Amino acid sequence: MADNGATGPSGRGGGAGGRGGGARKKSNILAVRVNGQQYLNWNPYTHATGYELKIYNLQMNNETFPDTTICVTSRPPCAVFSDLCLQSGAKGCRYSFADTPATSYCPICPVGQKSPPPLAPSPSPRPPRRPPPSPPPGCAACLHLQYRPPLDTPPGDVFQPDRDYCALVADTASQLFQAEARALGVAPPRDFSVRTCSGEYVPEDDVYPTVRVCTTFASDADGAALQPWLDSEGLDRILNATTGDCAGAFAGYTIQLRVAGSNLSSSSCIDGDKNRQCVLETPPPPPRRPRRPSPAPPRPRRPPPVLAPSPRPPPRPHRPPPPPRCPTCVQVSILPPRPLPDPFCTFGQCVTLPCEAAAAIIVQNTTAQAEAVGAEIAVPFRATGCTDGADDAAGVSVLTVSGGGEGVGRGRGWNG
């Protein structure tokens, strides 16, 4: 019996009952839940005609009670709910609702579960979608650079491309190819990536230091559109940017540049081939110093006086201090135009020499000039600084080479 409890402390009521013995003991009922919440207002009762489990004070009415869920949890000997009404003459449990505690209704509503609604037929599976058409294959292109030193170069002096140099080659190639593609109105290629950066040198096996950087064009047509530019100026611009003017580390080298597929034997939508011979210029020998004249014959000694005592020798003059050293500093600056261009060019970019190569030229020329005029270099010249202009408001890039002569006077006869 369930008590709705619309009025008063008892209110409307009702319950479930039967002639079974399980409902007469409260210990056989573990819990009662109303709409999933623990409910404590319930109690079993014994009547002359049977037993009743009454759930009271629900505080509901005819509008709020529909779809309410009441759950009774029992335990053995009431393993299932029908055990509560095992001896009922109605063959099962019945329930009823009461408006007030004084109302007495015979439970006539059977306890059972509603049959679930029939399942809707499952829709027929959709036919699989056709995969989108695959994009046209791109065009792979690589720059192959090989550095062949002079025949008499010791293995320890052979140029070794390091990670920074190989990254510079890749960045330079990306800037040149992408700028030309945009100028022609075609899709620019992807950034060049370093695939090979090797300093292995085995001349008898035709193995030389190699740099290989690769990219991909969106289509063969995009790559072929850059072929006229590559033939007319592109190969030269790549060599100028990666080797400078052949001075410094590349003097006497033969630089081979090939544009092909992922390897030299594979073809691509764009190709090219060019060699550059860097002439090894030997500096002129310094002039010979004039020979010193032979010393004059010694004068005959005077006979010592007989009686006069020899005078004390005069004190030796103090040696003059050595002439001060003459520090020398050479600075090379790149002054960009206004406004600052994009890309922003500094040492090692936009066809300029890297700092190491530019410094090597300055050191070589300064040392040769000093030897030509007979000036002694006390502190060898070397690169002491190189800025890329990023921290300068005017974007000025500065290369500094410092050294020093033996004395101020001896350094005036030459110009570094």
Is 50 exceeded by the pLDDT of residue 5?
A: no
CB 130: neighbour CB atoms within 10 A? 6
pLDDT digits (tens, 9 = 90+) for 202-245: 999 999 999 999 999 999 999 999 999 999 999 999 999 888 77
How far is the C-alpha of 314 from the C-alpha of 375, rounded, in Å? 36
> What's the rounded Cα separation, in Å, for the pair 401 and 47?
115
Which residue has better confidence, 205 or 13?
205
Q: What is the pLDDT of residue 169?
A: 95
Does 300 fall in a domain?
no
Q: Report yes or no on 124 lying in a domain.
A: no
| Domain of 229, in residue numbers | 139-277
Amino acid at 415: N
Q: What pLDDT was estimated at residue 394?
A: 67
Q: Are residues 204 and 256 in the same domain?
A: yes
Query: How does DSSP classify residue 282?
Result: P
Residue 245 and residue 148 share a domain: yes
Q: Give the span between the Cα atoms of 176 and 238, in whole angstroms.
A: 8
Least confident of 115-124, 137-146, 154-163, 197-206: 115-124
Res. 137: pLDDT tops 90 = no
Distance CA 229, CA 182 (A): 13
Distance CA 350, CA 340 (A): 14
Count of structural domains, the chain? 3
- The answer to whether the beta carbons of residues 170 and 191 sit under 8 Å apart is yes
Mark whether 211 and 265 lie in a shared domain: yes
Lowest mean pLDDT among 24-28, 52-56, 297-301, 329-333: 24-28
Q: How confident is the model at residue 414 (pLDDT cuts 50, 70, 90)?
A: low
Same-domain check for residues 146 and 267: yes
- pLDDT, residue 195, reads 96
Q: What is the pLDDT of residue 194?
A: 96
The model's pLDDT over 236-257, given as tens digits with 9 standing for 90+, comes to 999 998 887 777 788 889 999 9
Q: Is residue 239 part of a domain?
A: yes
What angle do the packed helices 235-243 and 163-184 form, to 10 degrees? 150
Same domain, 161 and 253: yes
Average pLDDT, the chain: 78
Domain of 243: which CATH number? 3.30.70
Asked if residue 57 belongs to a domain, the reply is: yes
User: Do 106 and 144 share a domain, yes or no?
Assistant: no
Note whether 86 and 154 are same-domain residues: no
Tell me which amino acid residue 291 is: R
- Contacts of residue 163, defined as CB under 8 A and 6 or more positions apart, other chains included, come to 197
The confidence score (pLDDT) of residue 10 equals 34
